[in-house]
Structures are given as structure tokens and as C-alpha cells.
Structure 1
Amino acid sequence: MGKPKMDRLTTMIFIVALAAMIALAGCGKSTGSVEARKDYILIGRVNPVTGPLASFGAGTPQIEEKAIEAINKEGGIYIAEYGKKLPIKIIVADSESSPTKAAEAANKLILQDKVDILMAAHTPDTVNPVAAAAERHKIPCITVDALSDAWLSGGPYAWTYHAFWKVNTLVDVYLDMWDQLATNKKIGLIAPNDPDGIAITDTLKKKVQARGYTLVDPGRFPPNTKDYTAMINQFKQADVDIVLAMQIPPDFATAWKQMQQQGLVPKIMSAAKAILFPADVAALGDNLGENLTTEVWWSPMSGNKSSLTGQSSQELAATWTELTGKQPMATLGYKHASMEIVVDVLKRAQSLERNKIREAIKATNIDTVVGHVQYNDRNLAETFVVGGQWVKGKTWPWEMNIVNNKKMTIVPLSPAPMQYIPGSQP
């Protein structure tokens, strides 16, 4: 009777020991498989590929991949915990120009794709939801190309770092442009009830009086508004010489065409955000893009150079045209600069551990193709813009004249001075 008990005891001990050996082997195998799987650094980028902001997202991922081409050819970036260089791989997720979709895309990149770093660009509609996801999941995130004031409104941030200009800079650029032409200094404002529209309205109200201007503000309204008749009538009654719109491209196209149809042709028509790209200017048709003024985020004429490739802004623009056959665009510089920042961070961190990456981002101090990037205690690196005017071109159907460079003297002014809107009475 004693022997069977001993056999059972021996069997149980054997089973426990065997289970422990399997578990240990399994742990070792799991660790090894993770290391074997980690053959690259995975960056997730949320980008408006479709929808009304698709013109902002155009060029991704070609621009980003071109920026890191040489680094990947050399094996990538050294990561200490793996004892080797790892190339960079980029996954692009479409925000569909929607804050809700941007959040969904960010969550998928973090939870399913297991990205090492998150990136986002192109207006608060994309950037703010992605930043919120990064904060919630505690993953390093680098963002560009969203009005800094609107981005800051979603803070404070512990994991997200942003590089762009502030609305104060934007308004100064417009005021400096308007000062160049004789007007009655009455401004009609078209600004929807979104983060950008609210931010520019608040700053305009604080600044215009000191510069001798009067603001005619019909109030905020929903994006995708189709009828601007009431606003147009208000502007006509106030006899405005200047109109400023802060809208997405299709909304501005609707408003500008209705202004023309209803007999409102201001001396100066400025549009923030809506006419950054030549394709959007061309889409207005009937030469309605002539002499429209806007902010210029980045220009081939900028004197800044890439820390990755050593290319000047002009050389970077030429590379883009050679690669695609297309005209360089304002967002090209920021797309390239975002990769400059990421590569600089990873080279200094030499790690994929989240806190080490975050500390490296915090210590960023780099000259990029869009200017100097160094984050402050609110995780913001402020950049600057110049003012430009669309004119009929020689190389391209529509080309940009730089007519104000007070915020960035490194960008030279174009020879041609600023002009009135055709059909207006100077």
C-alpha cells in the first residue's frame, strides 16, 4: 500500500518539475522570440489621407521615407538593448480628416501595431486626438503642423511634444501684409466654431485696434456651412476692404465664390489654412486664386537646411519634384522636419524604452529645415512663418511670392510687391 503512495508522490513531483522546466523554457523562448521579432523601429504616423484635409496629408509617406532612406541603407539607428542597429519602418494610418477617426487610428497603432513612437500632423483635427491617445497610453509622441494655441488647449502634456507656430505670430504676419496696401482698415472675419477659428478670433480682437484696424465679426458658425449670404451682406454694409478666412479648403472655396457672385470683391482677400497648396488655389477656378494672400509655413526659398540630408530647402524641394513630378508644397518642410526630430531623438536615446525616448525628446535642441526646434516646459517648440501671395506662375500655374518676412528674415522677399485683388478698386 505504501509503494503506490510513493509512486503517486514521485509522479506529482516529476509533473511539477516538468511544468517548471517548460515554463522556464517558454519564458526563455518568449524573450528570444521578441528579440528576434524586433528587426526594426516602428513609427506610427496618423495622417489625413482622405477627406477635406487630404491636401495637407499629401506626400506622406514618400517624404518621410525619403528623409530616412540613407539611414536605413546604413542599417538604421543603434539601439543598445538589442546591441545592433535597427532600421526605421513607418506605418501610416488615415485620420480621414476626422477627430474621431484620428483617435481610432492612434489607438490601433498603439494597441495593435505596438508602435515605438507615435507621430501626427495637419491641423488640430488630427493632432489633438492623437496627442490625447498618446497621453492616455503613455507613449512618446511627436507632432507638428497644428496651431500651437489649439494644441496647448488639450494639455498639459507629459508624453507629447509639438513644434509649430502660435496664432499671435500668424496674426502679426497678416497685419504686416495688410499694412503694405492702402485700405480703410476694416476687416471682415470668416471663422468657424472650431479650435483654429476660435483661436484666431480671440487674438485678432486683442490686436487689431492697436494697429488701427476695425474687426467686423459675424460670429462663429459650424464647419461645412453652405450659405454665407448673411455674412457677405454684413461685410458689404460695413464696407470692408479686407476679408480674412480661417477655413478648410472646400469651405473657403464656397465662401469665396459666393462673395464674387454677390458682388463683394475686397481689396485684400486673405485665407489661413485654406489656400496653402497650389492644388487648392487651382481648384477655385476662373482665376479666383489670383493675389490671394496666406501664411507660408515653409518655402523652398528658406535658408534652413536639413540635419538629416544636409540639403537646403531649395534642394529638398527639387528632390520632391524629381521624385513625384509635382510642385513643392508648404507642408513638405514640416513632414521632413518631423523625421529629423525623430531620428535625432532615437540617436540620442539609443533605446526603445519609452521613458528614455521621452527624456531624449525633452532634451531636443536641433536645427531643422523649418528652423530651430527646442521644447519649452509646456512641451512646445515655437516656429515661425512668413506671408505670401499667389500669382500666376512661369514654372507652375500658380506660384507663391513672399511679401512679408518680418518673422523669418532668413526667407528672402520676392522681387514683386504685394498686389490688390483683381477687380477691387484701390
Structure 2
Amino acid sequence: MIHFKMAKLTTTLLIIMMVVVVMLAGCGKSDVPVKAQKDYILIGRVNPVTGPLASFGTGTPQIEEKAIEAINKEGGIYIAEYGKKLPIKIIVADSESNPTKAAEAANKLILQDKVDLLMAAHTPDTVNPVAAAAERHKIPCITVDALSDAWLSGGPYTWNYHAFWKVHSLVDVYLDMWDQLSTNKKIGLIAPNDPDGMAIADMLKKKAPERGYSLVDPGRFPPNTKDYTAMINQFKQADVDIVLAMQIPPDFATAWKQMKQQGLVPKVMSAAKAILFPADIAALGDDLGEGLTTEVWWSPVSGNKSSLTGQTSLELAKMWTDLSGRQPMATLGYKHASMEIVVDALKRAQSLDRNKLREAIKSTNIDTVVGHIQYNDQNLAETLLVGGQWVKGKTWPWEMNIISNKKMPIVPLSAEAMKDMPSSR
């Protein structure tokens, strides 16, 4: 019995000493809740690195990483639950320009990589599947660069916030450009049965007659169509002066070359989505890009500035050329603006709690390099765009002239283009 009591007393004393040590260890520390160790904020970025949309994905993650370079050098962003600054780390997953692969990439980033926030860009083929994954797993998600009407078709959204223009603005830009030339105002439409194609067809049917134009629409067809002869014959019979295509780059190249071969050369050849980048124009070959018109999402001559770095659009463009040796592209501004939105939200949230971060994104109200970003009750921040025309360049083989800026007068017109705007003939 004596030995048992002594052992019991010794055990009691040890427990008391351990409690005291724990209490003393806590003295002088902050009231920040104890969290598992975390070394960085992890952002997952779904991007078309390969496939027919790869030209859209060019520049990721270099542009995003340059946007946060200064912040990371200073230690990152203060996160209250960890009581310290955390740098931002970006992990990129390839969508392979395929909606199914985009969904798989998003799920992997969420479930395996345990990202704190998702980002995605570059057409509904990438954005919509990622948005769906974010909603399913209840994780904050910031998206850009997909026709907003097509994005909205996947809603309503609780966790995804999108910034881009809507199809009504796109159609207005094309009509504004076409108004500058003398034509018979007959439009031939090439639009597949994907979300972009259906959206532009519906809006053009509504707006074209209001502006005095008639529309020749052969109907929707599958992407990757190889023979456009029936459409071309229909356009020739209708004597269209204007053709508008809403296609991915390789599909448009096929259609445009067949039009040339079969003797259909309209006064105006416009292509949405297909010829946004100099590489797409160069890939047409044989000077087939001369005079083609398209929408311009962002331009080095835009008057907007970055809320994150203070760079003007021109400075951002120069940074990219110095970094890559390559010509600035239309997606550059939106890639940078994505990080402006992310950093602004993280700074205000000071938290990686999903609900707190979502609320911070929801209340975004900033001026970015692509314009003002403020989300509405559908989680959409509608941006604007201008119209441009590809011409042989002086600095680069192909350069973009801004020829219509009614939607966004902060972007100056290219004076040379307005003096002698060449047709596609």
C-alpha cells in the first residue's frame, strides 16, 4: 500500500508540472488561434496549355507571377488565422482545351492539391467546367475571359465570380466597325453549336435588323467541321458583303481558306475568338490575315492602370515583351487583372476561410488594367471591348489597329487605320 500511494502521488505531481509547463509556454503569445503550419497561399489555375486554345493560355503563369512578384518579396499577404504573412504560390493545371479535362484538372486541384482558391480563363470550354467544380466543392473561384452569356448559362453561382463582356457588347462592336464601310449590309454567319456560337447567333438575329442589316444564317454545326462548301454557296447566292465567324482558330483557318479557294471574298471578313493573337494571323499564311477584323479585349494603348503594380497597359505590354521577347496579346490584360482581383480580396479578407474569402471577392470594387471590376447580384462584373483590324506592321509582322472605340473611348483609335481602312479583299 505504501508503494502504491507514493506512485500515485508522483503521478499527480507530474501531471501538475506538465500543466504548469503548458501554461507557461503560452505566456507572451498572441491570441491568434493555433492552426496547422502553412507556408503559402495556394492558388490553382486551370489553363489551356495544349490543344487548339493553347494560344489563349500563352503567358500563364509568367504574367500572374510577375503581378505578385513584389508582394511575395515582401513576404506575401497577412493572414490572420496564421498570424503572419504568407506568399502566394500558383499551380497550373492543363485543360488540354477540352471541357472534360478542364473539369478533371479543377477536381484534382481541389481534392488532391488542396488549393485555397481557384482561377480559370479562356473560353467557356475552360471556365464553365471549372466553375461547376468550384460550386460542387464550395471553394472560391475567380474566372475571366469567357463570354459572360455562356458563363451565366451554367449558373446561378454562389462560389464563382466572373469578369468579362457580354454578347450584346460584342455584336455592337462588330456593327460599329461594319458601319464605317459602304456595304450592302448583308451578313453571312458562321457559328457552331457551342455556347459561343449559339450566343452570338441569337444576339445578331436581334440586333442586325435594328441597325439596318440582314442576316444569312445557315444554322449551327459541329465544331471541327472540315467542309464549308454548303455555307459558302449560300453566302454567294445571297451576295453577302460581310461574313462573321465565331470559331476556334483552326476551324476558322479551314473556313477562310475554303472561302478564298471557292471565290467568296467579302468586303469585310470578321472573326470572333479565332484571330485574337498574332500567331493565329501568321498561321493563316499567304497574307490571308490582311484586313481581317476582330474584337479587342485589351490593348497596350488602353488608358487603364493596374491596381496592383501601378503599371499602365503600355508598361505591362513592355514588361511582357522584355520577359518573353514576344508580342503582347489580347489576353495579357485579363491574366494580370485576375491577380489584381485575387490580391485585393485576400488583403481585405486577411483569411483563407472559404466563406470569408468568398465574401471579400463578392465586395470587390477596384479599377484594374482591363477596367472597373464590381460584381452584380449574378456574380458578374461586365467589362467592355473595342474593335480592331489586323495590318502588316512596322515593329511586328502583324499589328492591330483600333478602328472602333464607342464602347470604350478610353482606348484611342489608330489614326492611320481611320484614314484608309482596308477591306479583306
Q: Which amino acid aligns with 1:35?
A: A
Residue 422 of structure 1 and its aligned partner are, at CA, apart by 4.5
Normalised to the residue count of structure 2, the TM-score between the two structures is 0.92
Residue 178 of structure 1 corresponds to which residue in structure 2? Answer: 178
In the alignment, is residue 366 of structure 1 matched against residue 371 of structure 2?
Answer: no
Residue 198 of structure 1 corresponds to which residue in structure 2? Answer: 198
User: Cα RMSD between the aligned structures?
Assistant: 2.1
Which runs of structure 2 are paired with 1:204-353 in the superposition (5 Å)?
Answer: 204-353=204-353
> Does the CA-based 8 Å contact 1:267-1:420 persist in structure 2?
no
Residue 33 of structure 1 and its aligned partner are, at CA, apart by 10
Distance 1:48 1:302, change over 3 A: same
Residue 318 of structure 1 and its aligned partner are, at CA, apart by 0.3
SS at match of 1:100: helix
Residue 421 of structure 1 and its aligned partner are, at CA, apart by 2.8
Determine the C-alpha separation between the residues in 2 that align with 1:34 and 1:277: 46
- Map Cα deviations across residues 242-293 of structure 1 (whole Å, 9 max, x no partner): 0000000000000000000000000000000000000000000000000100
> Does the CA-based 8 Å contact 2:191-2:246 persist in structure 1?
yes
In the alignment, is residue 138 of structure 1 matched against residue 138 of structure 2?
Answer: yes
Residue 376 of structure 1 corresponds to which residue in structure 2? Answer: 376
> Does the CA-based 8 Å contact 2:268-2:424 persist in structure 1?
no
> Does the CA-based 8 Å contact 2:269-2:424 persist in structure 1?
no
Q: Which amino acid aligns with 1:319?
A: M
Q: Which amino acid aligns with 2:106?
A: A
Residue 423 of structure 2 corresponds to which residue in structure 1? Answer: 421
SS at match of 2:36: helix
Determine the C-alpha separation between the residues in 2 that align with 1:35 and 1:144: 32
Determine the C-alpha separation between the residues in 2 that align with 1:112 and 1:181: 55
Q: Which amino acid aligns with 2:320?
A: W
Q: Which amino acid aligns with 1:318?
A: K
> Does the CA-based 8 Å contact 2:45-2:118 persist in structure 1?
yes
Stretches of structure 1 lacking an aligned partner (at least 5 in a row): 11-16, 18-31
SS at match of 2:46: strand
Residue 35 of structure 1 and its aligned partner are, at CA, apart by 2.5
SS at match of 1:400: strand
Percent of paired sites with the same residue: 86
SS at match of 2:344: helix
> Does the CA-based 8 Å contact 2:386-2:407 persist in structure 1?
yes
Residue 95 of structure 1 corresponds to which residue in structure 2? Answer: 95
Residue 420 of structure 1 and its aligned partner are, at CA, apart by 3.8
> Does the CA-based 8 Å contact 1:268-1:420 persist in structure 2?
no
Determine the C-alpha separation between the residues in 1 that align with 2:208 and 2:331: 28
> Does the CA-based 8 Å contact 1:218-1:231 persist in structure 2?
yes
Residue 35 of structure 1 corresponds to which residue in structure 2? Answer: 36
SS at match of 1:154: coil
- Map Cα deviations across residues 285-321 of structure 1 (whole Å, 9 max, x no partner): 0000001000000000000000111010000000000
Residue 34 of structure 1 and its aligned partner are, at CA, apart by 6.3
Stretches of structure 2 lacking an aligned partner (at least 5 in a row): 9-14, 16-32
Residue 419 of structure 1 and its aligned partner are, at CA, apart by 2.5
In the alignment, is residue 387 of structure 1 matched against residue 387 of structure 2?
Answer: yes
Determine the C-alpha separation between the residues in 1 that align with 2:313 and 2:210: 36
Q: Which amino acid aligns with 1:94?
A: D
- Map Cα deviations across residues 199-226 of structure 1 (whole Å, 9 max, x no partner): 0000000111110000000000000000
> Does the CA-based 8 Å contact 1:300-1:316 persist in structure 2?
yes
Distance 1:406 1:422, change over 3 A: closer
Q: Which amino acid aligns with 1:46?
A: V
- Map Cα deviations across residues 378-402 of structure 1 (whole Å, 9 max, x no partner): 0000000000000000000000000
Determine the C-alpha separation between the residues in 2 that align with 1:422 and 1:89: 45
Q: Which amino acid aligns with 2:215?
A: L
> Does the CA-based 8 Å contact 2:127-2:143 persist in structure 1?
yes
SS at match of 2:330: coil
> Does the CA-based 8 Å contact 2:243-2:269 persist in structure 1?
yes
Q: Which amino acid aligns with 1:84?
A: K
Q: Which amino acid aligns with 2:289?
A: G
SS at match of 2:381: strand
Residue 84 of structure 2 corresponds to which residue in structure 1? Answer: 84
Distance 1:158 1:77, change over 3 A: same
> Does the CA-based 8 Å contact 1:61-1:92 persist in structure 2?
yes
Which runs of structure 2 are paired with 1:59-70 in the superposition (5 Å)?
Answer: 59-70=59-70
Determine the C-alpha separation between the residues in 1 that align with 2:422 and 2:177: 11
Relative to structure 2, which stretch is displaced further, 339-348 or 414-423? 414-423
SS at match of 2:174: helix
Determine the C-alpha separation between the residues in 2 that align with 1:422 and 1:211: 22
Q: Which amino acid aligns with 1:119?
A: M
Determine the C-alpha separation between the residues in 1 that align with 2:170 and 2:387: 9
